[in-house]
Amino acid sequence: MFAGACALLLTTCSSGASKPAANKPPHASTTTTTTTTVPTEAVQASVQAYFAGKGAPLIAFRRATRLLATGKPVSRAECDRLATKDLPAVTPGFYPTLALAKEIPDPVLAGKVQDDVFTKNLLLTSCRTSRPIPKDLWRKVQQFSDSVDLRLAQFGVTA
């Protein structure tokens, strides 16, 4: 998906690292190259327009689920409230919200938002059934959410 996203954005991407030549000694320095994909003006405008219109429920979803993205466990009562009151008031449901994420004009952002919606739904479902949730899952959801915020910021969109 990443390679396709780069082609669609008409930007240059790198694998992220250059390896030293095989004949270099192990103590030789290595060079790491990181390239950030910067959206073109056209893609940026289409993403902004998407979130201002059809994709608005995704922003509402992100705002409503901030509680799940703190990296700290949430009570069952809070999960119940989120699932039965907060989310139904602002989103069309899990599958339609996931479908909206797939339509985001930037494939990298679309993938990140899909991951975010999916992991928060999984966490919310587990939380509501009182299943034990590993603490690292709460941190993982926070990381997914943070990566979405960073990518949204590249498009001038805030959640």
Mark whether 137 and 70 lie in a shared domain: yes
Asked whether the predicted pLDDT for residue 139 surpasses 80, the reply is yes
* DSSP secondary structure of 62-129: HHHTGGGGSSS---HHHHHHIIIIIHHHHSS-HHHHHHHHHT-SSHHHHHHHHHHHHHHHHHHHHHHT
Where does the pLDDT of residue 40 fall: very low under 50, low under 70, confident under 90, or very high at 90 and above? confident
How far apart CA 154 and CA 105 sit, in angstroms, is: 14
Asked if residue 159 belongs to a domain, the reply is: no
Say which amino acid occupies 91. Answer: T
The pLDDT of 126-130, averaged and rounded, is: 87
Mark whether 44 and 32 lie in a shared domain: no
CA count, 13 A, side-chain hemisphere, 93: 2
* φ and ψ of 117, to 5 deg: -65, -45
Number of structural domains found in the chain: 2
Asked if residue 93 belongs to a domain, the reply is: yes
Mark whether 25 and 49 lie in a shared domain: no
pLDDT tens by residue, 56-73: 999 999 999 999 999 999
Per the structure, the complete domain to which residue 94 belongs is given by 40-154
- Calculate the CA 23 to chain-centre distance: 40
Asked whether the predicted pLDDT for residue 132 surpasses 90, the reply is no
CA count, 13 A, side-chain hemisphere, 12: 3
The pLDDT of 17-44, averaged and rounded, is: 57
Q: How far is CA 128 from CA 9, 76, 91, 133, 158, in A?
A: 40, 5, 18, 11, 28
Where does the pLDDT of residue 22 fall: very low under 50, low under 70, confident under 90, or very high at 90 and above? very low
Where does the pLDDT of residue 36 fall: very low under 50, low under 70, confident under 90, or very high at 90 and above? low
Q: Which residue has the higher pLDDT, 151 or 9?
A: 151
The H-or-E segment that residue 136 falls in is helix 135-154
Task: Locate 48 and state its tokens.
Answer: 């902004």
* φ and ψ of 77, to 5 deg: -60, -40
Mark whether 127 and 86 lie in a shared domain: yes
Whole-model pTM: value is: 0.74
Mark whether 2 and 67 lie in a shared domain: no
Where does the pLDDT of residue 14 fall: very low under 50, low under 70, confident under 90, or very high at 90 and above? very low
Mark whether 1 and 57 lie in a shared domain: no
Q: Mean pLDDT in the chain?
A: 81
The pLDDT of 141-146, averaged and rounded, is: 93
